[in-house]
């Protein structure tokens, strides 16, 4: 099958649950390993749409046909791990979100792979995708939390701050305070939110928080206060 035919095959593959067929997942797995970047991109796009449809259906209590359910599929997981190194940032970013979905909850090996991807990938869009997924983890281990802490001074600092507000690691407090003192104004709101989320642990920084809030132009953030 030539490139044009492979592109058409994956682009036209139905991802609606009522139309998808048992050949869909094998097609996606093959296409994610295709030498043609457009085929690979169409494959990650198809998987992303399929995952969204499955998530919506599952939340609504609907049964998912096993033959089109990517969750727990070992070959797909292996292919997505390789896609974290793809030359196209769109595919790498899509693979981040897809692998978290299909391995929920992500195993230790998946977490290690995502941490390694964050450390080596210089594209801010991929880095944001990784930090965004880490911020949603229900049980972040110390290594995942450390990525969020390290990301405070990174280009993805805004997303990292919102994630830290969910977990409150003590190691992040100095970095949050430093960002409020010297960080860019456009991320101030997120770091005010992060500091306020620490409650009693943030009490020593109340004067700083008040000063920052006095300089904040948006009423919704000026009204924030440190909890008890």
Token couple for 149 = 């802490």
Q: At what angle do helices 37-59 and 3-11 cross, to 10 degrees?
A: 10
Chain-centre distance of CA 164, in angstroms?
14
For residues 77-98, give the mean pLDDT.
98
pLDDT tens digit sequence for 3-53 = 999 999 999 999 999 999 999 999 999 999 999 999 999 999 999 999 999
Name residues whose C-beta falls within 8 Å of residue 214's C-beta, 6 or more positions apart in sequence: 222
CB 96 within 8 A of CB 47: no
Q: What is the pTM of this model?
A: 0.87
pLDDT tens digit sequence for 91-108 = 999 999 999 999 988 999
> With the C-alpha atoms ordered 164, 170, 175, 180, is the resulting torsion angle positive or negative?
positive
Alpha carbon separation from 106 to 97, 103, 180, 192 (Å, rounded):
11, 5, 33, 30
**pLDDT winner (highest mean) among 48-62, 193-207, 211-225:** 48-62
pLDDT at 226: 45
For residues 145-152, give the mean pLDDT.
92
């Amino acid at each position: 099958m030539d490139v044009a035919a492979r592109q058409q095959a994956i682009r036209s593959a139905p991802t609606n649950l009522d139309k998808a067929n048992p050949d869909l997942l094998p097609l996606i797995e093959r296409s994610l390993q295709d030498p043609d970047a457009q085929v690979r991109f169409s494959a990650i796009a198809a998987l992303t749409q399929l995952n969204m449809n499955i998530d919506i259906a599952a939340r609504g209590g609907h049964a998912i046909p096993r033959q089109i359910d990517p969750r727990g599929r070992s070959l797909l997981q292996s292919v997505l791990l390789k896609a974290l190194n793809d030359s196209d940032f769109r595919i790498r970013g899509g693979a981040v979100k897809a692998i978290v979905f299909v391995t929920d909850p992500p195993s230790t090996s998946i977490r290690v792979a995502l941490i390694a991807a964050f450390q080596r990938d210089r594209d801010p869009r991929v880095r944001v995708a990784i930090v965004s997924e880490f911020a949603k983890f229900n049980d972040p281990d110390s290594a995942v939390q450390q990525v969020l802490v390290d990301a405070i001074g990174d280009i993805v600092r805004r997303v990292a701050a919102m994630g830290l507000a969910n977990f409150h690691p003590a190691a992040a407090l100095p970095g949050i305070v430093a960002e409020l003192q010297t960080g860019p104004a456009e991320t101030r709101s997120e770091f005010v939110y992060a500091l306020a989320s620490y409650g009693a642990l943030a009490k020593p920084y109340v004067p700083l928080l008040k000063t920052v809030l006095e300089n904040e132009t948006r009423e919704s953030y000026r009204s924030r206060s440190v909890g008890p």
